[in-house]
Amino acid sequence: MNFEQVTIVGPGLLGASLAMALRARKVCGRIVIWARSSERIEQCSGKEWCDQAEEDLARAVSGSSVVVVCTSVASISSLVSEIMRHTSEDMLVTDVGSVKEPICTSAVESGRGASGAFVGSHPMAGSEKSGMVHAKADLFEGKPCIITPQDDTPEVATQAVRAFWEKLGMKVYSMNSGEHDRSVAHLSHLPHLVSSSLAHCLNAIPEEWKKLAGRGLMDTTRIAEGDPGLWEQIMAMNKSHLLDSVSELENSLKLARKRLENGSPDEVREFLEIGSLFRKSLGNRDK
Amino acid sequence: MNFEQVTIVGPGLLGASLAMALRARKVCGRIVIWARSSERIEQCSGKEWCDQAEEDLARAVSGSSVVVVCTSVASISSLVSEIMRHTSEDMLVTDVGSVKEPICTSAVESGRGASGAFVGSHPMAGSEKSGMVHAKADLFEGKPCIITPQDDTPEVATQAVRAFWEKLGMKVYSMNSGEHDRSVAHLSHLPHLVSSSLAHCLNAIPEEWKKLAGRGLMDTTRIAEGDPGLWEQIMAMNKSHLLDSVSELENSLKLARKRLENGSPDEVREFLEIGSLFRKSLGNRDK
């Protein structure tokens, strides 16, 4: 066993998958799940990845070496703030939010004078499906995880959070929270908005065309299916970086239109070539 | 056996896959392959899906019940025009081009007085990979195929082209060539341009961010890898319909930006919801 006890705050897709993975990989002795409603508590009780289900946050974190907040991104800051009041010496608090700067900034405030330490995490694993029902033990395996320690984060806490995700099979990278938010605006939030916008405009096509949808359309619109409530929160929290990346996309699209309208075949081909080479440079990491 | 002999003009990804599928499903007795260069002829000779490889077009089509032109979309019209001069009674000529109106219009001209009949086809099967080396016998299986007979196409020719693709396991739909080009502008060419534009703008990201690319980015940019030369031809041939669909995408993207900048959370969520519901309405036809 590597950690005595871990508390997971919020048993959704990520939280429940995390609990399954902790159990499967024997990363900790006990797993405590906190959930907001007694209905959820009941759903978790008796699951083999849940040793204790708690509605009371102070009781849920008590005695844990690691607390991972896995609720929706907009609710993480206030939960972290409450958890910091109940931390004990050497307790590590982290989260799974896909936007980091607002969460880390607020955690610095709420963590002042606390016994434990907060370090932000973003395990880049997910799905267009959400909820406990889609949870699976291998969700995190082989995926990247970004940790975002602040300048004043104790080194021991940074090491602990890195070790935690590595034990779950993730590739851990460290970055400051601002660079994190800029990078995911480009790599995740912009692709989502592009996919959604494509699906949004295609909503007007004749119903009988849908049977002609091929793999290209299915691929480009797959993530558009993701939970609109979750994605609204993510986009709102990372609005300024996202809008910057939208401007870059608009510039590329404008150039594509201009070359299609008036450019030579070579100019159109060169535009497509840049995109093709970029995609090739990402390699082939499909599962 | 359903057809005595079939000629495939151009053994690329589609042509070679077609030959493999014809053989695997015993759709015809003999398979003749036409290729432009003696090097290609040599590559095909001896393949178990090639009974005869020919550089001479007249000899290649002679004695075939069906001739399928599988070359790049910009070269189809001129090849069809030459083939029509060598057709015999009851010979069916078709193609696999992903744009149909210019090809069908030109085939009406070149087919005047010919013994055989041309009917356009668009088997909607493909890959971001191109070339004979990626060919596979099941490429067409279960995929849609659009046929585009003209008003004056003999009914027997329409029936023959439908039967041909159905024997290969395809779902065949009939449409006029103008509607075909409008629908694929939306369902295939627009998604490609969007995927390419996303990949084009992301070409400027720092190299070290690439390791963070997740499934969402991989999916949305997958088709951007497709052969720039082929896609330049397709986009040029379907330019006016494609530009119309680009305008629709620009409108959706503009609305997304406006709502992100000034809208309420509900307005952003509603935008994402429309895209999510559209994607759900396509069902799950992932392989």
Distance to chain A for B219, nearest Cα, Å: 5
Query: CA B211 to CA A257: how far, in whole Å?
Result: 30
Q: How far is the C-alpha of B172 from the C-alpha of B145, rounded, in Å? A: 5
User: Tokens 């398979």 map to which residue?
Assistant: B31
Across residues A77-93, what is the average pLDDT? 96
pLDDT band at A286 (very low <50, low <70, confident <90, very high): low
A241/A235 Cα distance (integer angstroms): 9
Whole-angstrom distance, CA of residue B7 vs CA of residue B10:
10
Q: How far is A63 from chain B (nearest CA, A)?
A: 34
- Pairwise CA distance, residues B55 & B33, whole Å: 9
Is B256 an interface residue toward A (CB < 8 Å)?
yes
How distant, in Å, are the alpha carbons of A273, B132, B222, B227 from that of A276?
5, 20, 9, 8
Q: Test A187 with B212 for CB contact under 8 angstroms.
A: yes
Contact B29, B5 (CB under 8 A): yes
Contact between B271 and B256 under an 8 Å Cβ cutoff? The reply is yes
Give the one of B191, B261, B281 whose C-beta lies nearest to A198's C-beta: B191
| Chain B, window 206-235: residues with a beta carbon less than 8 angstroms from a chain A beta carbon | 206, 209-229, 231-233, 235
Q: Which amino acid is present at B223?
A: I
Which of B136, B179, B212 is the best substitution to test chain A (most A C-beta atoms within 10 A)? B212
A144-148 and A120-123 beta bridge pairing: antiparallel
| Contact between B196 and A276 using a beta-carbon 8 Å cutoff | yes
Report yes or no: A142 at the B interface, CB cutoff 8 Å.
no
Strands A66-69 and B92-95 turn out to be: unpaired
- The verdict on domain A180-281 having CATH code 3.40.50.10860 is no
pLDDT at A287 (0 to 100) = 43
Alpha-carbon span A79 to B9, nearest angstrom = 66
Q: How open is the CA angle A151-A157-A160, to the nearest 5 degrees?
A: 135
Mutation target vs A (from B122, B173, B181, B201; most A CBs, 10 A cutoff):
B201
The DSSP line for A187-205 is: IIIHHHHHHHHHHHHHTTS
B187: nearest Cα among B249, B128, B272, B140: B249
Give tens-digit pLDDT for A1-40: 589 999 999 999 999 999 999 999 999 999 999 999 999 9
Question: pLDDT tens digit string along A133-175?
Answer: 999 999 999 999 999 999 999 999 999 999 999 999 999 999 9
Residue B187 and residue A228: Cβ atoms within 8 Å?
A: no
CA angle B262, B263, B266 (to 5 degrees): 160
CA distances from B12 to A101, B31, B57 (A): 50, 15, 17
Contacts 24+ apart (CB under 8 A), A235-240: A235/A189, A235/A192, A235/A193, A235/B260, A235/B268, A236/A74, A236/B260, A236/B265, A236/B268, A237/A73, A237/A74, A237/A99, A237/A102, A238/A98, A238/A99, A238/A181, A238/A184, A238/A185, A238/A189, A239/B260, A239/B261
Distance of CA A82 to the CA centre of its chain: 21
pLDDT tens across A174-210, in order? Answer: 999 999 999 999 999 999 999 999 999 999 999 999 9
For residue B129, the model assigns a pLDDT of 78
* Of A63, A46, A48, A61, the residue nearest A10 (C-alpha): A61
Q: CA–CA separation, A211 vs B171, rounded Å?
A: 10
CB contact under 8 A, B214 and A268: no
- Residues in chain B with pLDDT values less than 70: 1, 285-287
Closest C-alpha to B116, from B171, B169, B154: B154
Sheet holding B120-123, edge to edge: B120-123, B144-148, B171-174
The answer to whether A124 contacts B272, with C-beta atoms less than 8 Å apart, is no
Model confidence at A121: pLDDT above 90 = yes
ipTM, two decimals, is 0.91
Instruction: Give chain A positions within 8 Å (CB) of B264.
Output: none
Task: Name the token pair of A275.
Answer: 């995109």
Q: What superfamily would CATH give domain B3-175?
A: NAD(P)-binding Rossmann-like Domain (3.40.50.720)
pLDDT of A126 above 80: no
Q: A276: nearest CA in chain B?
A: B225
Over range A68-92, report the average pLDDT: 96
- DSSP-derived secondary structure letter, B70: -
Q: Is A129 on the interface with B (CB under 8 A)?
A: no
CA of B16: how far to CAs of A174, B54, B61, B92, B141, in Å? 48, 14, 17, 19, 15
Q: Give the Cβ contact number of residue B261 at 10 Å.
A: 10
User: A208: Cβ–Cβ under 8 A, 6 or more apart, which residues?
Assistant: none
Tally A–B CB contacts below 8 A: 293
B173·A211 Cβ contact <8 A: yes
- The residues near B59 (Cβ < 8 Å, ≥ 6 apart) are none
Contacts of A132-137 spanning 24+ positions with Cβ under 8 A = A132/A11, A132/A12, A132/A13, A132/A15, A132/A16, A132/A43, A134/A13, A135/A11, A135/A12, A135/A13, A135/A15, A135/A16, A135/A17, A135/A19, A135/A20, A136/A17, A136/A20, A137/A17, A137/A20, A137/A21, A137/A23, A137/A24
For chain A, which residues make up each domain, given as ranges?
A: 3-175, 180-281
CB contact (8 A) between residue A194 and residue B220: yes
For A:73-112, CB contacts with B below 8 A are: none
